């Protein structure tokens, strides 16, 4: 196997597929292709470290699905793929949904590249950030209470997976157990406050599936912020 097999395969696939049709919403995200590895390049005779990450470009407003995929997850990767697209394609993009990656954000903001696009973070990664923040609060409270890492005998550690699960996926019994145990242990209520904030964010984001009603969106945004 040579180091440049993956990019050649991707280039051949893009040549067969041709120019994608315009889309209002473009999704950009990374995909891992396994662990880092070393491969021998027949052209240079050297061993090179293969980047296991690809960047995918997806139609989030239509039915085209995957529009293209390139090796690497840098801003240059994004700029190169978009620069190869037609002017009507780039001008037709109204929103670009990305994960919270500085490289992707910087690339999407390149002057003249996507003149009519607004940059947004996709829902999955927003919820992940909320869960990460909740986990940090839980760990900090454990240190404050016990001056050590969490153990299975600690209520907040024993309920760590329930805290990250969506409210609708918890049974009444499971929810009551989590709430009561953590409430009794964390008198500052910081863990449950972080959990409520995470759930209010999920509720706010779910407004899109209901048609994005402006009144409902403002109401849920107010609940999340307060």
Model pTM score: 0.75
Query: How many C-beta atoms surround the C-beta of residue 31 within 10 A?
Result: 12
Note the pLDDT of residue 2: 46
With CA atoms as reference, report the closest residue to 203 among 133, 123, 138: 123
Q: How far apart are the first and last CA of the chain?
A: 56
Query: Cβ-count burial of 191 within 10 angstroms (0-12 exposed, 13-18 middle, 19+ buried)?
Result: buried
Q: pLDDT tens across 73-117, in order?
A: 899 999 999 999 999 999 999 999 998 889 999 999 999 999 999
Q: What is the pLDDT of residues 19-53, one digit of tens each?
A: 899 999 999 999 887 777 788 888 888 888 776 78
Across residues 12-20, what is the average pLDDT? Answer: 70
Which residues pair with residue 55 across a beta bridge? 30, 70
Beta pairing class for 25-32 and 95-98? parallel
Structural domains of the chain, with CATH: 5-121 (3.30.420), 124-225 (no CATH)
């Amino acid at each position: 196997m040579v180091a440049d097999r993956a990019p050649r395969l991707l280039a051949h696939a893009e040549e067969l597929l041709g120019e994608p049709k315009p889309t209002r919403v473009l999704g950009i995200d990374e995909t891992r292709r396994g662990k880092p590895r070393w491969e021998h390049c027949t052209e240079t005779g050297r061993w090179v470290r293969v980047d296991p990450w690809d960047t995918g470009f997806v139609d989030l407003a239509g039915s085209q699905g995957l529009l293209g995929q390139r090796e690497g997850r840098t801003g240059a990767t994004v700029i190169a793929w978009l620069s190869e697209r037609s002017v009507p394609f780039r001008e037709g993009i109204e929103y670009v949904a990305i994960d919270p990656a500085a490289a992707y954000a910087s690339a999407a903001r390149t002057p003249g590249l996507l003149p009519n696009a607004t940059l947004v973070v996709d829902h999955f990664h927003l919820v992940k950030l909320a869960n990460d923040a909740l986990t940090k609060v839980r760990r900090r409270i454990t240190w404050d209470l016990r001056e050590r890492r969490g153990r299975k005998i600690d209520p907040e550690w024993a309920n760590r997976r329930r805290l990250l699960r969506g409210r609708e996926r918890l049974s009444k019994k499971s929810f009551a157990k989590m709430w009561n145990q953590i409430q009794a242990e964390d008198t500052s209520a910081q863990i449950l406050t972080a959990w409520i904030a995470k759930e209010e964010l999920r509720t706010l984001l779910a407004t899109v599936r209901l048609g994005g009603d402006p009144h409902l969106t403002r109401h849920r945004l107010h609940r999340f912020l307060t």
